[in-house]
Structures are given as structure tokens and as C-alpha cells.
């Protein structure tokens, strides 16, 4: 099949080492990697959205809260504009995209509560990872009707200590943005549930006990090894204080608030939690 004369002439001209051909070739070589990167990664807007992290022990109601907010978003979205959502496997965080206002969209990220998987959840709090770059708040969900808050307090201690270290990691550079914490005392629809004020006081007492126990353990380990860690590095809150209180976390720009609510049942609902989140994203 004969090539039309006009096309043949254009092809021959494009192969000649003229200035326009050289400039076009160089521009293509230099710009192609950026274009390819944009096509592969630039379309994912969720990676740039602010995020709110759901933490807490298993059975506290994190996934139920995530589903509740997703249904709420779907009910408020017109039928021709379904709510955006992105779910992942059960062994990795579950994420949904929500709108706090017409101009504010964020990711609500649920994490597994099993003790063996908490290290993965806590990795979201480290400023050294990209996961923490857009983190705006942490919602720690616990069962206010549980017989004992000790297990939840142990996990919360690790969360607060991670945020405290995060706040102090900006020496010599820009400090990471402060991350407030909401302790969501869930299941207040149950008769045995403690009110939010009592949950707060019991958590503070338990966190103080954990702090004392861990500090004694650290001192013993240091004496055996013949080394001393930086003073107060693993001490939660005000160093040397006899009792722990959530207000001590403000020294590290970590605001902690305890609010009661319920995901299911005829209790107070989850509106307070939603408003808290919306104000911080």
C-alpha cells in the first residue's frame, strides 16, 4: 500500500536533525516521566484528603460507627450522586470518604482493634510515615458498658504516648501538626454504661497507674543494662506528676475530650462525635 506523498514528506521531515525536531524530542523525553506519573498517581485524590483515624479495642464499636456515618452520608446524598466509599480487606484499615460540609471532604479510617494488629494502627501516628501527613484527629472508641476499662486504657496509653512523641519530633525542623483526640464512650444506650464524666475519671486513674508501673519497669531495665534513657522520654503527660490528667497532654498540644454516645439503640446517638470531627477537619 502506497504511502500518500504528504504523509511521506512529513515523516521524512520529522527525521531530519532540525532545530524544531530536536527541541520537540528533548521536551518529550523530559516531560514524559512526569506525564506518566500523573496518569498513574495523579488521579487518586483520596491520598491528599485530610483523615480521621478510628482506634480502640475490638468490640468497642469502631466499624459500627464507620458504617453509621457511611449510611448517614448515603442518606444525605442525591440518588444520582452516590456517596464515595473505598473499602479494603479486613486485615487492613477500612476507609470511607465523607463530607463534613459542602466544601470539606475527608477520609474516616477504621483500624483493626486486635492486640496483634495494633502496631499497624499506631503506625498511622508516626510523623515518619506518609500515613500521618494528612492526619487531622483521632477518635478512640471504647465500650462504656465494659466491666473493666483497663484494657482500653492500656491501648489509649500507647496512643497518647505516640502522639506525645510525635509532638516532640520536630526539633530543628517544622513540628508536625497537632492531633486532637476524642475518646468516644460508646454504648451509653445500655443500662450498665458509665456516664462520660465517670469514664474520664476512671481512665485518668488507670492511665496514671499504667504510667507508674511502666516507669518502674523502665528504671529496672535501665539499671540492669547500665544505661539511662533521656529523662521523661517514655513518661506520659507532665513529667514527675503524682497523678495523671488529660489536661497534662496540652503541654504537647494534644487536646483530649471525652464524649458519650451510642451507635445503636435508643441512647444519645453519635451526633456529638460527628460535630467534633467536622470541627477539626
C-alpha distances in Å from residue 77, one per residue of 81, 106, 173: 6, 15, 42
What is the rounded distance in angstroms from the CA atom of residue 27 to the CA atom of residue 22?
9
What is the rounded distance in angstroms from the CA atom of residue 259 to the CA atom of residue 220?
37
Q: What's this model's pTM, rounded to 2 decimal places?
A: 0.77
For range 9-20, the mean pLDDT: 65
**Structure confidence at residue 172 (pLDDT):** 54
How confident is residue 27, by pLDDT bands cut at 50, 70 and 90? low
**Structure confidence at residue 54 (pLDDT):** 97
**Structure confidence at residue 225 (pLDDT):** 47
What is the rounded distance in angstroms from the CA atom of residue 269 to the CA atom of residue 188?
9
Least confident of 73-77, 118-122, 136-140, 245-249: 73-77
- pLDDT for residue 270 is more than 80: yes
**Structure confidence at residue 72 (pLDDT):** 85
**Structure confidence at residue 50 (pLDDT):** 94
In terms of pLDDT, which residue wins out, 13 or 90? 13
Name the CATH superfamily, with its identifier, for domain 50-278.
P-loop containing nucleotide triphosphate hydrolases (3.40.50.300)
- pLDDT for residue 239 is more than 90: yes
Least confident of 67-71, 123-127, 220-224: 220-224
Torsion, Cα of 38, 41, 42, 45 (10° steps): 180
What is the rounded distance in angstroms from the CA atom of residue 225 to the CA atom of residue 228?
8
How confident is residue 145, by pLDDT bands cut at 50, 70 and 90? very high
- pLDDT for residue 38 is more than 50: no
Chain centroid, CA 232 distance in Å: 26
Instruction: Provide the percentage of residues in the chain whose pLDDT is more than 90.
Output: 53
**Structure confidence at residue 112 (pLDDT):** 87
- Which sequence spans correspond to the domains of the chain? 5-41, 50-278
Digit-coded pLDDT (tens) for 192-212: 999 999 999 999 999 999 999
Least confident of 196-200, 226-230, 243-247: 226-230
In terms of pLDDT, which residue wins out, 230 or 178? 178
Amino acid at each position: 500500500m502506497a504511502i500518500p506523498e504528504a504523509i511521506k514528506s512529513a515523516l521524512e521531515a520529522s527525521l531530519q536533525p532540525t532545530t524544531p525536531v530536536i527541541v520537540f524530542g528533548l521536551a518529550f523525553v523530559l516531560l514524559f516521566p512526569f506525564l506518566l506519573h500523573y496518569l498513574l498517581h495523579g488521579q487518586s485524590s483520596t491520598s491528599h484528603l485530610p483523615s480521621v483515624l478510628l482506634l480502640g479495642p475490638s468490640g468497642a464499636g469502631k466499624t459500627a460507627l464507620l458504617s453509621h456515618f457511611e449510611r448517614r452520608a448515603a442518606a444525605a446524598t442525591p440518588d444520582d450522586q452516590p456517596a464515595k466509599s473505598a473499602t479494603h480487606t479486613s486485615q487492613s484499615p477500612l476507609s470511607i470518604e465523607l463530607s463534613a460540609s459542602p466544601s470539606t471532604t475527608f477520609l474516616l479510617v477504621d483500624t483493626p482493634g486486635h492486640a496483634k494488629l495494633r502496631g499497624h494502627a499506631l503506625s498511622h501516628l508516626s510523623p515518619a510515615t506518609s500515613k500521618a501527613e494528612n492526619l487531622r484527629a483521632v477518635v478512640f472508641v471504647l465500650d462504656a458498658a465494659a466491666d473493666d476499662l483497663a484494657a482500653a486504657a492500656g491501648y489509649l496509653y500507647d496512643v497518647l504516648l505516640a502522639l506525645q512523641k510525635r509532638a516532640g519530633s520536630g526539633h530543628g525542623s517544622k513540628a508536625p501538626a497537632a492531633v486532637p483526640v476524642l475518646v468516644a464512650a460508646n454504648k451509653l444506650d445500655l443500662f450498665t454504661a458509665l456516664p462520660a464524666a465517670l469514664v474520664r475519671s476512671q481512665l485518668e486513674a488507670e492511665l496514671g497507674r499504667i504510667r507508674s508501673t511502666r516507669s518502674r519497669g523502665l528504671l529496672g531495665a535501665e539499671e540492669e543494662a547500665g544505661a539511662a534513657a533521656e529523662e521523661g522520654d517514655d513518661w506520659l503527660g507532665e513529667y514527675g506528676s503524682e497523678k495523671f490528667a488529660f489536661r497534662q497532654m496540652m503541654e504537647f498540644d494534644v487536646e483530649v475530650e471525652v464524649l458519650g454516645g451510642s451507635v445503636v439503640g435508643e441512647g444519645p446517638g453519635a451526633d456529638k462525635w460527628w460535630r467534633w470531627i467536622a470541627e477539626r477537619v
